Amino acid sequence: MLFTDRPLRLGTRGSPLALAQAHMTARALRAVHGWAEGAVQIVTVQTSGDRIQDRALADIGGKALWTKELDRALVTGEIDFAVHSMKDVETLRPDAFHIAAMLPRADVRDRLVGVESFDALPANPLVGTSSPRRAAQVKRLRPDATITLFRGNVATRLAKLATGEVHATLLAAAGLDRLDQSDVGVTIPIDLMLPAPSQGAVGIETLAANDAVVAALAAINDRDTFDAVMAERGVLKGLGGTCHSPIAALARVEADGLYLVAEIISPDGQETVREEARLLRGDEPAAEAIGQTLLERASPALRALFEG
């Protein structure tokens, strides 16, 4: 145990995926430190993102809706650290918070659910997603597609698909795998759908000032995942991206640094600006510069999506 008188309190959202990721984190901590079963206590916190299901995230306040209540629980000391899908963590975080560790990354790709391939969709297909990135990438592959807003947790989306509301939807392979639903959907190669920055990564945040907890968490950090995800987040920062913006980025660890691919796509899928670059681990300014280069190369209409 880290504290002699109480367990470490792990804060998480209550969705099945969030809970699966929380248990993975608790297990990793117990294993690396040799702690007993009860050394980490899981505390569930409902977030606004979980509560509001009928509007696109981008329209109601963005990614902060996934973290706000957990941030507050960190500040009040109700929890010692919070476990997040890194994809849901805003690029700009208050200085008080510190990303202390990331778990080894899962499959970064998306899965197409409902049909065997984009070609197998009928003419003028309906595709459900609330992700501007996935919407734009679908339109690039299938200009005849209509995108309908699709929110809710993985099970909710699969249930909506089953009712025949849409022909297909897209979900992160990582989420499906962690929910033991690896058999759902067809994995889309990254050259067709470059994933969202941070997709497939679980991050653990605590208060920067909480040295003991920061050190305990650092022991489970997967450095390759951490460095790759930080570079992808750097691109987002350079773009000033919000969740209105169709942005994809993926960094891969190589022998002497990172290989980063990033793209921005117009909502109709007709314009893609793509950059590929090698950079050193931890060189966040270089990653931000790639984001800025994407913007400079974009048409005024695409660039406008990133302003204001």
Smallest separation (angstroms) from ligand PBG to the CB of 200? 5
Smallest separation (angstroms) from ligand PBG to the CB of 303? 26
Residue 172 touching ligand PBG (CB under 6 A): yes
| Position among 47, 91, 199, 266 found at the interface with ligand PBG (CB under 6 A) | 199
Which residues within the stretch 21-40 sit at the binding site for ligand PBG (CB under 6 A)? none
Cα dist from 97 to 60, 258, 263, whole Å: 23, 25, 28
In this chain, which stretch among 39-47, 80-88, 159-167, 261-269 interacts with ligand PBG, using CB under 6 A?
Answer: 80-88
For the four alpha carbons of 95, 91, 15 and 177, in that order, the dihedral sign comes to negative
How does DSSP assign 224-283, residue by residue? HHHHHHHHHHHHHHHHT--TTS-EEEEEEEETTEEEEEEEEE-TTS--EEEEEEEE-TT-
Smallest separation (angstroms) from ligand PBG to the CB of 95? 24
| Calpha distance 110→28 (Å, rounded) | 25
**Whether 88 is catalytic:** yes
Residue 85 touching ligand PBG (CB under 6 A): yes
Smallest Cα–Cα separation from 138: which of 246, 260, 283, 9? 246
| Calpha distance 167→187 (Å, rounded) | 16
Active-site residue, from 71, 88, 110, 227: 88
Residue 251 touching ligand PBG (CB under 6 A): no
| Position among 13, 87, 133, 140 found at the interface with ligand PBG (CB under 6 A) | 87
The residues that touch ligand PBG, with contacts defined as CB under 6 A, are: 85, 87-88, 171-172, 174-175, 199-201
